Amino acid sequence: MKGYALSTVIWDRLPIGVCWNLSNTEFAQTSAERNWTRLAIQETWEQHSGVEFSGWQQCTNDPNYYGIRISVEDIDGGAPHTMGLGAMLNNAQGGMALNFTFKNWSPSCQGREEYCIRRIAAHEFGHALGFAHEQNRPDTPSSCIEPAQGTRGDTMVGLWDLASIMNYCNPQWNGDGKLSATDIEMAQKFYGPHKDTESVFVMKRVASPAKITEYDLNTRAEVSTINLDFGSGDDYVRRMFASPDQKRLYFELAIASQPGLQEKGAQSSVLIAYDIASRAIAWNVRLSRTASIELRVSPDNSQIYYAADNTISVINAEDGKVGNVMTFPAYYSVKALDTTPDDNDTVYVLASTSGTQQNILRVNMKTKSVMTSFAAGQLPSRDYHVLAVTPDGKRAVYMKPVSNLGGSNMSEMDLSNGKIRQLPGGEPYKSVNNLQATNNHQVVFVDNNEYNVAPVIFYDLDTGGKVWAESNRKLIPEIQYDAKTQSVFLMSDLKDTVEQLVPQGDGTYKNIDFGFTAFTEDVIWKPMAAPFVFVRR
């Protein structure tokens, strides 16, 4: 191993808290810069070692705070820095200083702020973990002319590393924001390798005060409990879902009763953000609606798309504040949303345009503009408002009604020209739920029909081939596809327990029942209640 660490200041427990020493105004104005910082750390130290940071909110005056307090400053001659290494920063005012504006220090970063902020943050967080500058080592060669700077380490193993993100002599400034192989070795020596944490969050009580229990998937032990008390006993959780990076849970709490005069049909929901690592509620915000809503988190986890009636709002994932609002004509009604992994500002929309017809739109939420809009045929009944866009953004899968058959055919739209084709082998389905694209050529869904089975179906978009992963249940209200294992987590109305369908070598699926039981403190299911979420971090 190569590197230079101060072994006496390695943090003794994880996660390490992070907070911002900013005023309310400063915190609101630096949302993008703070997100770039957090992403830089996720993609370096957290991704390649057992290190985990939590919080990332405004600092409080907690005298027992465990973590790093970050200030933001731009002083001529005052470079970003840390006050020492590792746990020397614990609860220290000004323990770390970063720069977001570059008007005084390093003005060459103006116009490329994201580039600079990410690389500086990755370097400074190396110090925060206890790692000194590589050029501080006594075996630094004469070819490195950068002077030693800052606190020295006490653990030097292996040869000097030119490629280290902590080396000022690295020809790539701050290692181009990437850890060298030996930076990773050093981080893993002191904090261990990155380990997936697999949890299942199960809804125990839907009505307010709602209760959710976290279980460890591997040991099946109960880990923690979330209590959500934001309304009266008539209010209930309708949705529970995770962010793409699996670091947040989001809950929609439907408010059933509201004081005061209300516009006819007016209702509201409370959207709640929960930080999984710190096991704390990050924020909550009350949102109005007159009907059911749709929610999606952007691929980069920075914003939430909230669709209600004929509008889509952008909610800042850091603080819950509403930003851009896209308003469609009054006769529009948003029915379903989807996103693709590499397009953070785009949302795909299935909308009713006249009460009987539907369109599929591609909307840029940053510019509040409709980039494409294609007629998608007749609007089916409410059970079939589903939309899945393939990860490459080329195909949209949705349902079109079938005359006199009481069901809908699965159809595909070419998103480059709006051409529609009925998918082969996609016979009329009675009630398709949880439609998800697993890749560019396959979708998975459950058909909750009125017959004796509710099959979980993997459907090949190219050939029309189908694999029934499960066909022994009468109703399956929720499925969740796991790309890593290519398996499906589900819950049926027969047991109310979380199960997993795991693919076998012969094309069949093995059923694992974890025994995590939902709704143990409710008499009945509430409509649209989300019974569980599987999270891998």
Residue with tokens 């499925």: 479
CB atoms inside a 10 Å sphere around CB 44: 26
CATH of the domain at 381: 2.120.10.30
Q: Which amino acid is at 158?
A: G
pLDDT for the residue 235? 82
Q: Which of 365-374, 404-413, 475-484 has the highest mean pLDDT?
A: 365-374
> Model confidence at 429, in pLDDT bands (50, 70, 90)?
confident
**pLDDT tens, residue by residue, 149-187:** 766 666 665 667 788 898 888 888 877 899 998 899 999
Q: What is the mean pLDDT of residues 252-259?
A: 72
pLDDT, position 494: 62
For residue 400, what are the domain limits? 320-425
What pLDDT sits at residue 110?
Answer: 96
Tokens representing 432 are 């398709």
Residue 474: the pLDDT is 66
Domain ends where: 388, 403, 425?
425
- In percent, the amount of the chain with pLDDT more than 90 equals 57
Based on the fold, state whether residues 182 and 330 are members of the same structural domain.
Answer: no
Q: What is the pLDDT of residue 408?
A: 65
Is residue 496 situated within a structural domain?
no
- Structure tokens given for 259: 């004081």
| 537 in a structural domain | no
113-136 mean pLDDT? 92
What's the pLDDT band for 20 if we cut at 50, 70, 90?
very high
CA–CA dist 350, 64 (Å, integer): 49
pLDDT confidence of 82, banded at 50, 70, 90? very high
Instruction: Determine, yes or no, domain membership for 101.
Output: yes
Order the strands of the 407-414 sheet from edge to edge.
388-389, 395-402, 407-414, 420-422
The answer to whether position 452 is within a domain reads no
Query: Which residues neighbour 410 within 8 Å (Cβ) at sequence distance 6 or greater?
Result: 397, 398, 399, 422, 423, 426, 429, 432, 459
d(CA 210, CA 235): 9
Chain-centre distance of CA 156, in angstroms? 38
What would you measure as the largest C-alpha separation in the chain, in angstroms? Answer: 84
Number of domains in the chain: 2
Q: Provide the phi-psi class of 354: left if phi over 0, else alpha when psi is between -120 and 50, else beta.
A: alpha
Within 10 A of 144 (CB to CB), how many other CB atoms are there?
Answer: 16
| Last residue within a domain, chosen from 170, 191, 212 | 191
Please calculate the CA angle 311-312-313 and round it to the nearest 5 degrees. 115
pLDDT of 449 > 90? The answer is no
Strands (E), 95-145: 96-98
pLDDT digits (tens, 9 = 90+) for 306-344: 999 899 999 999 889 999 999 999 889 999 999 999 888
Among candidate residues 425, 443, 470, the one where a domain is terminated: 425
Kindly state whether residue 300 falls inside one of the protein's structural domains: no
pLDDT band at 263 (very low <50, low <70, confident <90, very high): very low
Three-state SS for 5-73 is ECHHHCCCCCCEEEEECCCHHHHHHCHHHHHHHHHHHHHHHHHHCCCCEEEEEECCCCCCCCEEEEEEC
Question: Tokens 């499906």 — which residue?
Answer: 488
DSSP one-letter code for 518: -
The answer to which of 76-80, 140-144, 523-527 has the lowest mean pLDDT is 523-527
pLDDT attached to residue 265:
43
In which band, very low, low, confident or very high, does the pLDDT at 501 lie, cut at 50, 70 and 90? very high
Would 386 be classed as within a structural domain? yes
Can you give the pLDDT at residue 307?
Answer: 94
Q: Helices 113-128 and 31-41 sit at what angle, rounded to 10 degrees? A: 50
Q: What percent of the chain has pLDDT over 70?
A: 88
Cis peptide before 15 (omega within 30 of 0): yes
Q: For residue 289, give every residue at least 6 positions away whose Cβ sits within 8 Å of its Cβ, in sequence order, or none.
A: 266, 267, 268, 269, 308, 309
pLDDT (tens digit per residue) in 88-99: 999 999 999 999
Residue range 269-282, pLDDT digits in tens? 899 999 998 888 99
Name the band, by pLDDT with cuts 50, 70 and 90, for residue 121: very high
Mean pLDDT value across the chain: 87
Is 240's pLDDT higher than 60?
yes
pLDDT higher at 351 or 528: 351
pLDDT at 261 over 50: no
Q: Which residues contact 142 (CB under 8 A, 6 or more apart)?
A: none
CATH number of the domain to which 164 belongs = 3.40.390.10
> Mean pLDDT, to the nearest integer, of 223-250?
88
Lowest mean pLDDT among 32-46, 102-116, 224-238, 398-412: 398-412
Sorting pLDDT into bands at 50, 70 and 90, what band is 262? very low
Mean pLDDT of 13-29: 94
Provide the residue count of the chain: 537
Residue 153 pLDDT: 60
Phi, psi of 107 (to 5 degrees): -60, -15
* Residue found under tokens 């009460």: 355
Instruction: Collect all residues with Cβ–Cβ distance below 8 Å to 35 and sequence separation of at least 6.
Output: 300, 302, 318
Structural domain contains residue 58: yes
